[in-house]
Amino acid sequence: MIEFEERRKAVLKAWEKLREKYPKLPKLEEIEALFKFTANDPFHILSAVIGYILSSLSSFRGIVTYILEPVSLPEKFEVKFLSEEDKKKSINFIKRISYFYRKLHKFYFSKDEKEKIKVILECYKFVKDEVYDFLFEFDDKLVKGWEKSLKEEKSSKENSKMSYLG
């Protein structure tokens, strides 16, 4: 436990040194909360943070991609819950998130600290301002689609019981 606490302090200290140099950089805890990770490498903090952000962007992209290119039975149902306009918005979302993914990935191995910071800030803003709102709306449409489907199924079963005179 002590080792983790000491490592964590070293991570936060390394990040604060970066924030002194780049004042627009958010607190590490804010980035961690947004992207759902905990940094633990004080020696390669920027690359570690980029790696975590890349993983999150990939997950976000996957949530939408699987529905638009359904493989499993549930996904085949869910794609039917989306209108053509929803599908277009989803494709545009995938394009934007792929752009940020590739842009960030480009700098994963780079030694250019300033460019890494710039791209982290762009991704942070994109996710904070757009991604979670889009995904909430996207999931809301899917949940409503399932609710409607289950309601229709229940109604269909009740109608079939009533019409059977056996």
Sorted by sequence, the CB contacts under 8 Å of residue 35 that are 6+ apart come out as: 52, 53, 56, 127
pLDDT number for residue 2? 64
% of the chain with per-residue pLDDT over 90: 81
Contact between 67 and 75 (Cβ < 8 Å): yes
Q: What mean pLDDT comes out for the span 97-111?
A: 94
pLDDT over 90 at 161, yes or no:
no
Share of the chain above pLDDT 70, in %: 93
Whether 162 has a pLDDT exceeding 50, the answer reads: no
Write the pLDDT tens digit of every residue in 68-96: 899 999 999 999 999 999 999 999 999 99
DSSP of 92-121, one letter per residue?
Answer: HHHHHHHHHHHHHHHTTS---HHHHHHHHH
pLDDT score, position 158: 58
Which of these, 84, 135, 80, 124, lies nearest to 100 by C-alpha position? 124
